[in-house]
Amino acid sequence: MTESTRENAELLVEMKGIRKSFPGVQASDDVALVLRKGEVLALLGENGAGKSTLMNILAGLYRPDSGEIRIRGKLARIASPRDASALGVGMVHQNFMLVDSMTVAENVVLGIPKLPFVPNAARIRREILELSERYNLKVEPEAFVWQLSVGEQQRVEILKLLYRKAEILILDEPTAVLTPQESKELNAVVKLMQAEGKSAVFITHKMDEVMSFSDRVMVLRKGKVVAEKLTRDTDPRDLARLMVGREILFCIDKRPFEPKGLVLELSGVEALNERGLPALRGVDLRLRSGEILGIAGVAGNGQRELAETITGLRPTTAGAISINCVDSTNASPMSVIRRGVGHVPQDRVAVGVVGDMSVSDNLAMKAYRSAPLASGGVLRPKRFLELAKRMIEAFKIATPSPSTRTKFLSGGNIQKTILAREIEACSSLLIAVYPSRGLDIGATEAVRKELVAQRDAGLGVLLVSEDLEELAQVADTIAVMFEGRIMAVMPACDAEAERLGLLMSGAIPAEV
Ligand SMILES: Nc1ncnc2c1ncn2[C@@H]1O[C@H](COP(=O)(O)OP(=O)(O)O)[C@@H](O)[C@H]1O
Ligand SMILES: [Mg+2]
């Protein structure tokens, strides 16, 4: 289908007057949305704008308080994901919903009604392989989900929808967890589905993705539609302003770099990954107080293992680590925390917070061992609440109250909760792994400013990022990682994107 025929194509989805409230927030406020056959609609908005809520309504996970939905012109009653699936609507959620202990194939067919009592495993395997071939979604049907990388799990989620013959695909921030390479692959998959006449709603924060492959873009703010445009009639700056409701700083004012004493030193550090293969190969790094050391590289080149060995979560098999000039090689996580180290981990939803605990308890989780939260071994709940209120205010965490369970916050606000807690508990070294991944521009700006503020306050900050623009804005020194090795270390002011790109992909040899 060409662009102009898509603009007049059949209306597949019409949502009108959709309202949905949660305690304390109007998540959808009289929203109207249409989707045509063969069209990719980008849904843009800051964290908490109501994007997931709106799409969860279309996918049958939430019931709207009012409003109507028509699918192919007919009034639709979507009371469950199964109803949505029967209408050809499928959604890949922000946090995947696969069963870890089951195989890929079992997950793909899970929940399909009218499956024979004894499913034909060979046939299912063949069908999955055919789909994965056709859409270039490489998976191994017999692998267990727990063995898969995030990117692979996402492929399984997409196969699940294709297997159910979904015609309307909803992808909720699908690239937030992907490497740039995986994002490109996903974009290709969406293009392929579009060429077959399928339609997609693509939720994202990334302007370049909106620009490169949506036909139309809708911007939400505080539950309302604030703009709807053809993609070719808009540009990133325009969209950013619409999302946030103000001009966005694309660069950060920074004081000159004045490093002091050494806070972290790694020499010849080696470690293994989950599969027992070398993940760190002789890493040498030095970080001083008042310095932001950016680790550039494509995710999966040892960054996670680097953060984990420093924080005591993964054993070092060779070499030495010292924190504040004290040997910390293979120190326990608790003793690393006592040395004033904060860690914003990569996998925030799984290990960063306890979803069933309140925001205030999550905020206090690290600092609770010491005064003023505890005295003589007794916890002081009033102090918990005071601390939580102060942090919610300082970090602009959007939560109905400090006692709200954390799992009900939007992804970006969960992220801010962790960042606030780690910064609060940290007195010498802050390790931030992809801290702005999945955040909207407003929140990203806030996080970056906070990292710089912490550096100015005298912390050493180890910032792992894939975003060269972020590193250029924030870091004082940049080290490039590739296949577990440090390829080069340079002052950020000397870093050129092209050279970084070559080092990150191993296209030029290591310089150190
Ligand atoms: N299940 C829920 N319970 C309570 N509040 C919720 C729930 N789901 C979403 N919200 C709230 O609704 C608002 C919109 O959230 P969401 O749709 O997830 O935003 P987005 O996807 O744009 O980041 C947020 O304030 C969020 O905290
Ligand atoms: Mg969301």
* Averaged pLDDT for residues 280-294: 97
State whether 92 and 232 are in the same domain. Answer: yes
Assign 161 to helix, strand or coil. helix
State whether 334 and 461 are in the same domain. Answer: yes
CA–centroid distance for 54 within its chain: 19
Considering only 121-125, 243-247, 260-264, 345-349, which range has the smallest mean pLDDT? 243-247
Residue 510 lies in a domain: no
Helix then strand then coil, in percent of the chain rounded to 5, is 35, 25, 35
Q: Residue 306's closest CA among 314, 296, 298? A: 314
* Averaged pLDDT for residues 83-88: 95
State whether 209 and 323 are in the same domain. Answer: no
Hey, what are 266's tokens? Answer: 């790694």
Residue 380 has pLDDT above 70, yes or no: no
Whose Cα sits closest to atom 25 in ligand 1? 48
* Averaged pLDDT for residues 277-292: 95
Considering only 51-60, 114-123, 311-320, which range has the smallest mean pLDDT? 114-123
What pLDDT is attached to residue 506? Answer: 73
Mutation to probe ligand 1, out of 47, 408, 413 (largest number of atoms < 8 A from CB): 408
Helix 150-163 × helix 121-134 angle, to 10°: 110
Residue 377 has pLDDT above 90, yes or no: no
State whether 217 and 186 are in the same domain. Answer: yes
The single-letter DSSP state of residue 255 is P
State whether 484 and 368 are in the same domain. Answer: no
Half-sphere exposure of residue 201: CA atoms within 13 angstroms, side-chain side: 26
Higher-scoring residue by pLDDT: 159, 466: 159
Residue 251 lies in a domain: no
b/e code 418-434 from CB counts within 10 Å (16+ = b): bbbbbbbbbebbbbbbb
What pLDDT is attached to residue 489? Answer: 96
State whether 138 and 169 are in the same domain. Answer: yes
* Averaged pLDDT for residues 17-44: 94
User: For residue 455, how many other CB atoms are within 10 A of its CB?
Assistant: 26
Mutation to probe ligand 1, out of 202, 410, 415 (largest number of atoms < 8 A from CB): 410
What is the spatial distance between Cα 372 and Cα 145, in angstroms, rounded to a whole number? Answer: 43
Ligand 2 centroid to residue 273 C-alpha, Å? 31
Highest mean pLDDT among 81-95, 203-217, 235-249: 81-95
* Averaged pLDDT for residues 289-310: 91
**Ligand nearest to C-alpha 95:** 2
Residue 118 has pLDDT above 80, yes or no: no
Q: Single out the residue in 386, 404, 424 at which a domain terminates.
A: 424
Domain CATH number, residue 457: 3.40.50.300
Residue 26 lies in a domain: yes
Ligand 2 centroid to residue 121 C-alpha, Å? 35
Residue 64 has pLDDT above 80, yes or no: yes
Q: Single out the residue in 424, 451, 475 at which a domain terminates.
A: 424
Mutation to probe ligand 1, out of 52, 205, 243 (largest number of atoms < 8 A from CB): 52
What is the 3-class SS of 83-130, one letter each residue? HHHHCCEEEECCCCCCCCCCEHHHHHHCCCCCCCCCCCHHHHHHHHHH
pLDDT, tens digit (0-9, with 9 covering 90-100), for 167-206:
999 999 887 667 667 778 888 899 999 999 999 999 986 7
pLDDT, tens digit (0-9, with 9 covering 90-100), for 316-335:
999 999 999 999 999 999 99
Q: Is residue 505 packed enough to be buried (19+ CB in 10 Å), middle (13-18) or exposed (0-12)?
A: middle
What pLDDT is attached to residue 139? Answer: 87
What pLDDT is attached to residue 351? Answer: 62
Residue 512 lies in a domain: no
pLDDT, tens digit (0-9, with 9 covering 90-100), for 457-471:
999 999 998 777 788
CA–centroid distance for 368 within its chain: 28
What is the spatial distance between Cα 115 and Cα 343, in angstroms, rounded to a whole number? Answer: 46
Quick one: CA torsion of 330, 334, 339, 341, rounded to 10 degrees? 90
Ligand 1 centroid to residue 264 C-alpha, Å? 39
* Averaged pLDDT for residues 490-500: 82
Residue range(s) defining the domain that contains residue 212:
3-244
Residue 257 lies in a domain: no
What pLDDT is attached to residue 512? Answer: 72
Give Cβ neighbours of residue 237 (< 8 Å, ≥ 6 apart). none
What residues flank ligand 1, with Cβ below 6 Å? 22, 25, 27, 45, 47-53, 398, 408-410
State whether 397 and 411 are in the same domain. Answer: yes
* Averaged pLDDT for residues 298-309: 89
Q: Which residue has the tokens 């996670």?
A: 304
Ligand 1 centroid to residue 407 C-alpha, Å? 10
Ligand 1, atom nearest to 172 Cα: 21
What pLDDT is attached to residue 371? Answer: 47
What pLDDT is attached to residue 185? Answer: 84
Hey, what are 95's tokens? Answer: 């946090």
Ligand 2 centroid to residue 75 C-alpha, Å? 26
Residue 115 has pLDDT above 70, yes or no: no
b/e code 248-266 from CB counts within 10 Å (16+ = b): eeeeeebeebebeebbbbb
Residue 248 has pLDDT above 50, yes or no: no
State whether 239 and 119 are in the same domain. Answer: yes
The count of domains in the chain is: 3
Model confidence at 349, pLDDT cuts 50, 70, 90, reads low
Higher-scoring residue by pLDDT: 129, 423: 129
b/e code 268-301 from CB counts within 10 Å (16+ = b): ebbbbbeeeebbbbebebbbbbbbbbbbbbbbbb
Residue 364 has pLDDT above 90, yes or no: no
Q: What value does the CA radius of gyration of the chain take, rounded to a whole number of Å?
A: 24
Contact 429, 340 (CB under 8 A): yes
pLDDT, tens digit (0-9, with 9 covering 90-100), for 388-424:
888 888 778 888 888 888 888 877 788 888 888 888 8
State whether 38 and 146 are in the same domain. Answer: yes
The single-letter DSSP state of residue 206 is -
**Ligand nearest to C-alpha 47:** 1
State whether 130 and 161 are in the same domain. Answer: yes
Residue 254 lies in a domain: no
Ligand 1, atom nearest to 25 Cα: 25
β-partners of residue 287 are 264
Assign 343 to helix, strand or coil. strand
Residue 238 lies in a domain: yes
State whether 495 and 440 are in the same domain. Answer: yes
Residue 133 has pLDDT above 70, yes or no: yes
Residue 256 lies in a domain: no
Whose Cα sits closest to atom 27 in ligand 1? 409
Q: What is the pLDDT of the chain when averaged over all its residues?
A: 86
Ligand 2 centroid to residue 139 C-alpha, Å? 26
State whether 294 and 357 are in the same domain. Answer: no
Give Cβ neighbours of residue 77 (< 8 Å, ≥ 6 apart). 83
pLDDT, tens digit (0-9, with 9 covering 90-100), for 250-281:
456 788 888 999 999 999 999 998 878 899 99
Q: Single out the residue in 244, 275, 301 at which a domain terminates.
A: 244
Whose Cα sits closest to atom 2 in ligand 1? 408
What pLDDT is attached to residue 397? Answer: 85
What pLDDT is attached to residue 350? Answer: 59
Q: Which residue has the tokens 């080069």?
A: 488
